[in-house]
Amino acid sequence: MESTKQAIFKLGDDVYGMDIMNIKSIENPIPVEKVKKAPDNIIGMIDLRGDRLPVYSLRRKFGLEDKETDADTRLLITNSNNIPIAYEVDKMEEITVLMEDQVLDQPSIFKSNNTSYMKAITKKDDRLIILMDEDGILAEDEKEKIGALLKKS
């Protein structure tokens, strides 16, 4: 039976997961340099071990109010559509293994261009967890704007 290892994190009251095999690292907050004319969901840029990365607010993506960075805030360093990026999350919960029979396809009622980040769902410890597809998070216009932003820096 197949399994998947997921990084489980919180945004507000909701719980999400991302395949740990697609995450390069999980980092504590790093000072963010604000960038003029950045896309709405981009908080700014960071310098991580010599690489310049945009920091993307998943809170903004999902219509949540901005929140001050605190001791629980983490950055998930990954690639989204071949764009190196840091996704800011409220809190890392755990790294967990999910068996194939624990993972359910995204319900068809939720499928749309606005939910392309949803890969599947699962329930663990009485929590509904949305498993994310990091390549589905960025909208087409965001990909273009972030690509241009990276070329400038």
* Separation CA 153–CA 1 (nearest Å): 45
Instruction: Please state the domain count of the chain.
Output: 1
Edge-to-edge strand ranges of the sheet holding 23-27: 23-27, 74-80, 83-89, 51-57, 42-48
Residue 140 is given by DSSP the state H
* Separation CA 136–CA 15 (nearest Å): 17
Residue 53 is given by DSSP the state E
Tell me: the pLDDT tens digits for 51-65?
A: 999 999 999 999 999
Q: Per-residue confidence of the chain (153 residues) as pLDDT tens digits?
A: 588 899 999 999 999 999 999 999 999 999 999 988 888 999 999 999 999 999 999 999 999 999 999 999 999 999 998 999 999 999 999 999 988 888 777 666 555 555 567 888 888 888 889 999 988 899 888 998 988 888 876
Write the CATH number for 22. 2.40.50.180
Q: What is the pLDDT of residue 118?
A: 80
Global confidence as pTM: 0.89
Residue 136 is given by DSSP the state G
DSSP string of 55-114? EEEHHHHTTPPP----TT-EEEEEEETTEEEEEEESEEEEEEEEEGGGEEEPPGGG-SGG
Q: Is the dihedral of CA 93, 95, 99, 105 positive or negative?
A: positive
Question: 115 in helix, strand or coil?
Answer: helix
Range of the domain at 42: 3-152
